[in-house]
Structure 1
Amino acid sequence: MQNVTHLLRARRFMPLFATQFLGAFNDSLFKQAVVLFVTYQLFSNPAKEFQFSAIAQGLFILPFFLFSALSGQLADDHDKARLIRIIKLAEIGIMVVGGAGIMLANIPLMLAAVFAMGIHSTFFGPIKYAILPQHLRRDEVLGGTGLVEAGTYIAILGGTILAGALVSTPAIAAAATIGFAVLGYLAGRQVPPAPPAAERIPFNWHIIHASIELVSATLHIRRLFLAILSISFFWTIGAVLIIIFPPLVKNVLGADEQVASLFIAIFSIGIAFGSVLINRLLKSEVSARFAPGSVIAMGVFVLLLHFVALAWGKHGPGLTTLGNFVFHPMAGLMIVALLGVAITGGMFVVPLYAFLTTTVPKTETARTVAANNIVNSGAMVIGSLLAFGLSSLGVGPVGQLLLVAAMCLVAAWLGWKLHLACD
């Protein structure tokens, strides 16, 4: 990565990177274990499996819409390092509840923990981005953001692989989620102080009013609002894809949970690679000039994924294993399509996050990230509801890939508007 690998040896960055890495790893491990456990061991109805995946995704996203305004105010008004310690301590308790849900095969407990992890991520998200311009130089922010994003998706990869391996042993899966939460708390304790950059701000506890006020504050900065809209469409696309993957693998490809984990793993590797690649192409400059082309290419790869899935051969009543899957004649093309979607997606979204943290004063960074999270989560909830509704109408995962491709065109248009506005 362009001139930023030294950050991995610096205390002003490495503890935050490790905390985020462990949090993303554990979040992926828990959510993937829950979805795979329910899809492969509790349900045997394709429509119910798809709908559970959509419900779990929607519950995780909903707190971002409800509580981002509060999280942004807290992050700008308090020492961010202290908040990290409190949030990571809460994660341990959440994983105790979630682990109990997995061991008892209790769906309400599992969904409660998914919702609580959404709250945890809502309050941690603004901090992890807002702390970067506080601890890093301006010419390090894009590279630092890219490292965080790449690390996040490598962590998701690791958590996904481990979930696929542990899903058949619920007790070990539950213990692992608690153990990684403890490690995340210990890493968070090493993050250097990050006191508020201004005097205390008036705190607005009214969730709806605070959210409207926060989003409205971004409207007058054209490039900032265009960046937020572009990121929102990207994560709506991502939400629908994550919902699609488990039922696509089981009911269309006829494959087991290890193949479902492989899909998420490939997606994670691709976004991590795209995050690093775009920083090299831009040479640490905050720019949207590659955004339109990146997301158009993403749409092309989504269409390829659709046609490969459509042409996939019939399978028997038994689920094929990972070993058999990779020898399928069309498996190579499927993997190329998945990897292409992820790489181009990473190239699209990483520079947009750098816009969020460099467009406004440091005193407003966390609230800006929170405003972004509100719009993102609203769009993602709509995407989850749309996927749920289409599934109820009989539109399966293969058909819904066409929806994703169409959404890429909207994201490309927004990326082009952003490029014209600021490059």
Structure 2
Amino acid sequence: MNNQFSLLTQNRFRPFFWTQGLGAFNDNVFKTALITQVAFNTASLTTLDGSTLVTLLPGLFILPFFLFSASAGQLADKYEKSQIIRLVKLLEIAIMLFASIGFLIHSLATLALALFLMGVHSTMFGPVKYSYLPQHLKANELTAGNGLVEMGSFVAILLGQVLGAWLGSLPQHEFFTSLSILLIAISGYHISRSIPLSPAPVPEMKINWNPVSETINNVRLFWAQQTLWVGIVAISWFWFFGATLLAQFPNLAKDGLHGSERDFIALLSIFSVGVGIGSIWCEKLSKGKQELGLVMLGAAGMSLFAWDFASTAGSIQQQFLANPGWSLQAISQLDYWRMLLDVALLGVSGGLYIVPLYVLLQSRVEARYQSRVIAANNIMNALFMVLSAGFSLLLFGQGLSIPQLFSVTAGLNLLVAGYLCLRQPEYWFSSMAYVKRWFASE
């Protein structure tokens, strides 16, 4: 396949791509609109403290990944996938109707329950999302397909957050937000009707509805195959690393850079576009093959640019401390543009890191277990994101600043990369072989 974007013209990939993208888009429109309302109009919803709610609400979205991922993985292995996708999209329409009622009657309890249910929706879709690709793409198309999916997901998340924040700030936000999330959900279902059949790999499987015992079974499954275990740890670390940095972008823009919402959106946009570029670039750099050599190169870039980003942001903070009356426009423009370049290259490095790891999971797992392994991966991802919040709180409790948090995370990233190479030397040898081939081709 000469051009990975040609997949977007083919029925085996196009409707799936747009369906998953609209799902991620709607998740973030709803979440961001809700959090915007809680942050700026708390009194109209509850007597509780707004900052506390903004911290707790995202946890409601993550909770279903712990509770239902094991069941979702089994269902995706037992039943035909396009049917599951359409049922999940119908569920999304119902949830958005319920959320609309919450917006219109100003009921925080209704909106919080809708947020939890959207977490259930994403949990059910997750195992299908990555196990669908190996059924419809050739082995030499998996990198291209995963690159497009990651690019689409990050762009959808970014656009969803921007639209959600804008909707949440409108005078008649209840009506416009409700209309938007319903239209997006209906569009997703309409497109999902074109997704081709994906036969169930294990239709005879008996579902174990106990999430605890099934999660333990899944852990035993991939623990027995250390390649899978190390791959899942590597993917989960990416979400820990990303969650740690992205969670601090709003505070960094406001307090560290003395900027506004526009500066926060700029940081988020540049990072998201960077991940998209890195994800797409994987196809060109790997030439359609499974290329684990990109993982360590991506990890090195993540540490390098996170450290330089932290150093530059720290320098900007020092300029403000020395000149309290300054605005962001008054600081060294070289530092400002260097910081934005770091964010972009950090995103690109993340894209190079994550795409080959998803290809690894898809290509080295038996077809009958793919969805369940993806479900186990989703549980680990959720756990690592929760741990990232605790990690940040711990370091802030020790008096560290946001730039210092980023520096520590960059250093920890190198330790994790070392762990991956020790446990699975293939990562190191693949990286060295890739670099040698690159220089040999010059």
Q: TM-score, normalised by structure 1?
A: 0.89
Residue 288 of structure 2 is aligned with which of 280, 284, 288?
A: 284
Q: Does 1:82 align with 2:86?
A: no
Task: Please give the alpha-carbon distance, in whole angstroms, between the structure 2 residues aligned to 1:96 and 1:317.
Answer: 48
Instruction: Tell me which residue corresponds to 1:24.
Output: 24
Match of 2:418 in 1: 413
Q: Please name the residue that 1:373 is paired with.
A: 378
Which position in structure 2 is the counterpart of 1:314?
320
* Number of aligned residue pairs: 417
- Give the aligned partner of residue 435 of structure 2: none
* SS at structure 2 position matched to 1:314: helix
CA-CA distance at 1:212 after TM superposition: 0.8
Aligned to 1:284, what secondary structure does the other structure show? coil
**Counterparts of 1:80 and 1:354, CA distance in 2:** 19
Q: Which residue of 2 aligns with 1:33?
A: 33
- For 2:339 and 2:222, how far apart are their aligned partners in 1? 40
- How far does the alpha carbon of each residue in 1:90-143 deviate from its partner, in whole angstroms, 9 at most, with x for none? 112333344455566655544433332222111101101111111122221221
User: In 2, are the aligned partners of 1:230 and 1:414 still within 8 Å (CA)?
Assistant: no
**Distance change >3 Å, CA 403–CA 146, structure 1 → 2:** same
Name the structure 1 match of 2:437: none
1:23-422 correspondence to structure 2 within 5 Å: 23-40=23-40, 42=42, 54-101=55-102, 107-169=108-170, 170-171=173-174, 172-312=176-316, 313-314=319-320, 330-391=335-396, 395-417=400-422, 418=424, 420=426
Question: Bigger CA drift: 352-361 or 297-306?
Answer: 297-306
Q: Distance in 1 between matches of 2:362 and 2:148?
A: 15
**Counterpart Cα distance in 1 of 2:19 and 2:88:** 11
Q: Secondary structure at the match of 1:195?
A: coil
Quick one: distance in 2 between partners of 1:71 and 1:216? 18
> 1:287-341 CA deviation, whole Å, 9 max, x = no partner?
21121221121112112222222233439999989xx699966431221121111
Q: Whole-Å Cα distance in 1 between the matches of residues 347 and 99 of structure 2?
A: 29
Task: Judge conservation of contact 1:55–1:384 (CA < 8 Å) in 2.
Answer: no
What's 1:14 paired with?
14
The alignment's C-alpha RMSD in Å is: 3.0
Q: CA separation of 1:51/1:392 partners in 2, compared to 1, >3 Å: closer, same or farther?
A: farther
Evaluate the alpha carbon distance shift between residue 266 and residue 30 of structure 1 in structure 2; reply closer, same or farther with a 3 A threshold: farther
1:408 CA drift (Å)? 1.5
Q: Report the CA distance between 1:240 and its aligned residue.
A: 1.7
The change in CA–CA distance for 1:256 and 1:164 in structure 2 (over 3 A counts) is farther
Check the 8 A contact 2:143/2:282 in 1, yes or no. no
Q: Are the counterparts in 1 of residues 298 and 350 from structure 2 also a CA contact under 8 Å?
A: yes
How far did 1:281 drift?
0.7
Deviation of residue 166 (structure 1)? 2.6
- Which whole-Å deviations, capped at 9, do the CAs of 1:159-182 have from their partners, x for residues lacking one? 233234333112323321222111
Q: Counterparts of 1:272 and 1:299 in 2: how far apart (Å)?
A: 18
Task: Say if 1:62 and 1:381, in contact at 8 Å, map to a contact too.
Answer: no
Flag the 1:280–1:49 CA change in 2: closer, same or farther, 3 A.
farther
| Cα distance, 1:26 vs structure 2 | 1.5
Greater RCO (CA < 8 Å, at least 6 residues apart)? 1
Superposition deviation, residue 194 in structure 1: 1.2
Q: How many angstroms does 1:144 deviate by? A: 1.0
1:81 maps to a residue whose letter is S
CA distance in 1, matches of 2:266, 2:108: 24
Q: Distance in 2 between the 1:101 and 1:290 partners?
A: 45
- 1:249 touches 1:260 (CA, 8 Å); kept in 2? yes
- The structure having more radius of gyration, on CA atoms, is 2
Q: Deviations over 1:351-405 (max 9, x none)?
A: 0001111101222111111111122222222112333454566655334223421
Relative to 1, partners in 2 of residues 1:199 and 1:29: Cα closer, same or farther, differing over 3 Å? closer
**The 10-residue stretch of structure 1 (343-352 or 167-176) with the greater mean CA deviation from structure 2:** 167-176
1:240–1:384: 8 Å Cα contact kept in structure 2? yes
**2:38 and 2:54 in contact (8 A); partners too:** no
Contact 2:294/2:356 (<8 A) preserved: no
Change (3 A) 1:39 1:406: farther
Q: Identical aligned pairs, as a percentage?
A: 33
The AA in structure 2 aligned to 1:123 is M
One-letter amino acid of the counterpart of residue 354, structure 2: V
Task: Quickly say closer, same or farther: Cα 1:420–1:12, change in 2 above 3 A.
Answer: same
Cα distance, 1:198 vs structure 2: 3.2
Return the alpha-carbon distance in structure 2 between the equivalents of residues 361 and 347 of structure 1.
Answer: 25
The 2-side partners of 1:349 and 1:325 are apart by 37
Distance 2:402 2:103 in 1: 26
Q: Quick check: 66-75 or 287-296, which moved more? A: 287-296
CA distance in 1, matches of 2:179, 2:331: 31
